[in-house]
A and B are shown apart, each in its own frame.
Chain A
């Protein structure tokens, strides 16, 4: 690790002020940041510890939704009785990611902020536009089995590695942030961004922004849901393709539908307009296949990851079929 100064923030505003400089990093669970610092991918001059702030509560909101404190751990969130009951797709997604040790330490806010696991991003001996803007992308013509097939750019084909975020995208969560200009709320689909010409920016936060909580709307899709994660080993592996599928049914007719994909893009991949077209249609294979095609329109492989396109197609149909067949709770 490089030499850095360390301070503990006593309030959210103190954290905001301290983290406005470009070379500072906020630390909470630290499971990704400390690792990246050991690899010298992250070299902050200042590290600001926010774990003393009272942001670890998980609470019910008046509108029937829930608020997840940014410092609640992934494990405490997934095992929280009301989260598990009201948002089983979120609990399943969280528990499908990482290991018990990492989930015990990693926070919900930090989960949103984790960086890609692109091997070239981690390897400081190789060019990477995300790590060093303008240096080039080693993955496009390199080993790209784990890389993106949607929303890529000539600068970057990295994926966002989170499982939790895929479920949060499907649930239409919102992220509460405090920054230099006060508090604001960001819709989950607007939180992360596509790489474009600035892959060094994973999300739309400004310097100094501190995530304080994540809000879940009251609609949890607790009857018909599935988090399907396809990966190289059964546990403790990142998704090659993952699908958060949720349905609200009236008989066999689709009343509401959500599908978010992980492992395929720089952010959780969702197309709300394509979902809307399914409303009123029968929940059957034809509808699911059509939706899969729309979600994967324009998908492009880079050689090693070509398999992800048919895999994602089949995974979407399977996840929706499993969600449909779930017995009403």
Chain B
């Protein structure tokens, strides 16, 4: 039995499609999708925001991390139809090749990746942490970054990059 037939026998018809407008990196994108579509698949497969990566697809590795209203979440565990009233930011929305986000600059400076597959997720989590005023000691940084796995084991340099941006941010807070 192929998968189409299987679906039919379960529910007696194709999925009902929903129209959803997602606000991604300040741009509105309208899609007609089945409710099963995850935010991750909507971003990558339908809208070509391929900076966000699919790793485990079960919320365990963090490769799919994006920002929803500024907070880091696993886009693989989000149904896209539930995200029509929020601001979604992907790695493409944080910086551009001409003007990198400070966290991206720090990752390059500290050589905080090898293969780079986890990097967009790492950067989204790090940016969310710093923006929320968290990561105030080394243990808290490590703990709040623990939802992003790096199979190359670049953790030492990832930590250095994040810590540097966090320290700069705290210094700015003190001045203001």
Binding site for B on A (CB under 8 A): 1-6, 27, 30-31, 34-35, 38, 43, 45, 47, 49, 51, 75, 79, 95, 98-102, 104-105, 234-236
Contacts and interface: CB of A to CB of B under 8 A. Distances in A.
Interface in B62-78: 62, 65, 68, 71-74, 77-78
Interface in B32-66: 34-36, 38, 57-59, 62, 65
B35 A30 contact: no
B146 A236 contact: yes
B72 A101 contact: yes
Nearest to A75: B71
Interface string B13-28: 1111010000000000
B129 interface: yes
A6 B15 CA distance: 10
A88 B84 CA distance: 35
A35 B59 contact: yes
Contacts of B147: 98-102, 236
A283 B134 CA distance: 36
B128 A100 contact: yes
Given A31-B59, A79-B132, 8 more contacts: A2-B11, A3-B10, A4-B35, A4-B36, A6-B16, A6-B79, A45-B11, A101-B59
Contacts of A49: 79, 81-82
Contact of A104 (B35, B38, B71, B142): B71
Given A100-B128, A100-B147, A235-B142, A30 B77 contact: yes
B5 to A, nearest CB: 12
A95 B140 CA distance: 10
B126 to A, nearest CB: 10
Closest 4 pairs between A and B when the two form their complex, measured CB to CB: A99-B147, A6-B35, A235-B146, A3-B11
Nearest to B135: A100
Contacts of B129: 100
A203 B100 CA distance: 49
A47 B38 CA distance: 14
A129 B134 CA distance: 42
27 contacts: A1-B36, A2-B7, A4-B11, A4-B36, A6-B16, A6-B79, A34-B77, A35-B58, A35-B59, A49-B81, A98-B147, A99-B62, A100-B72, A100-B125, A100-B129, A100-B144, A101-B62, A101-B72, A101-B73, A101-B125, A101-B147, A102-B74, A105-B68, A234-B142, A234-B143, A235-B143, A236-B146
A104 B73 contact: yes
A3 B82 contact: no
Interface residues of B, number: 39
A260 B101 CA distance: 45
B82 A104 contact: no
Contacts of A45: 11
Contact of B74 (A2, A31, A47): A31
A32 B73 CA distance: 13
A35 B60 CA distance: 10
Contacts of B128: 100, 104
Given A3-B11, A3-B36, A235-B143, A27 B79 contact: yes
B137 to A, nearest CB: 13
A27 B78 CA distance: 10
A234 B145 CA distance: 12
A47 B35 contact: yes
A27 B82 contact: yes
Contacts of B58: 35, 38
A203 B62 CA distance: 30
A95 B146 CA distance: 12
A236 B134 CA distance: 17
Contacts of A104: 68, 71-73, 128
B16 to A, nearest CB: 6
B38 A34 contact: yes
B98 to A, nearest CB: 29
A45 B59 CA distance: 23
Interface in B111-139: 125, 128-129, 132, 134
Contacts of A236: 146-147
Contact of A30 (B13, B15, B82, B148): B82
Contacts of A51: 82
A31 B77 CA distance: 5
Q: Which of B13, B38, B74, B132 has the largest count of A CB atoms less than 10 A from its CB?
A: B74
B58 to A, nearest CB: 5
A34 B78 CA distance: 7
